[in-house]
Amino acid sequence: MNGQVQLREAALSIVAIIGGYFLVGYALKFTLGHAAIGGYAISWSVWASLILSLGVMGFVCKRRGALDSLGLSRPRSILKGGLTGLVGGVVILAGVALPVSLLSAAGLISPPEGASSLLVEGPNAQLSLALSLAVMWINAAFGEELLFRGFLMNTLMRALGDTRRAGVAASLIIALAFGVMHMPSQGLYGLVVTGIVGFLMGLLFLFGKRNLLPVVIAHGLINTVSMIAASAG
């Protein structure tokens, strides 16, 4: 496959994931709203990400016969991969805090008012938080990293030549797509914050030899801290 064909495939993949998320997500939002199970409503975004993740896994498995190209191969050391993710998550949290604080202080961005950080909402606040954290580790930590780093970033890297520079460029481009996906629910604040997080997550993905374990751990840690802090506040 030549470079132009690979670039076209990468561009179509990005459009398909972002467009698919909006189409599937809003279709679910306006038809099902927050689908409730046992009195606890699950956000439409959870179902949209789950459908897309399963679709990508099925597509790649059918096309390549394995999921290694998504970063799902077993790491050489699970312990090292997990520790890399934990340290990476702490570093990313620290790296995002300063620019977000400066932009917020300057009045350029602000968190959306009235937006809930929970993915599952019900009559018991503590149970809602616990269920949201469990769903988040599957939906966001694993699902979003599978889509954006495992699938889109790897696809774009191969199209750009699979070099270190290609990795940084792909990380930046996919970070922008990652930020755009969060705009409907979080506005400009979501674009900036998740865009920065996405870029740093891309660098962590490269550092971790393009294995999903470190970025899944880091993503889960970041969202866990953010969700608990928002609920406590």
Structural domains of the chain, count: 1
**For the chain, which ranges sit under pLDDT 50?**
none
Q: In terms of C-beta density within 10 A (0-12 exposed, 13-18 middle, 19 or more buried), how is residue 131 classed?
A: buried
Residue 175 pLDDT:
97
Residue 87 pLDDT:
97
CA dihedral 172→177→179→182, nearest 10 degrees, is -160
Going by C-alpha positions, the residue among 4, 196, 199, 223 that lies closest to residue 97 is 196
Q: How many angstroms separate the CA atoms of 44 and 49, rounded?
A: 9
Q: How many angstroms separate the CA atoms of 12 and 20, rounded?
A: 11
Structural domain boundaries, residue 164: 3-232
Residue 231 pLDDT:
83
pTM score, two decimals?
0.92
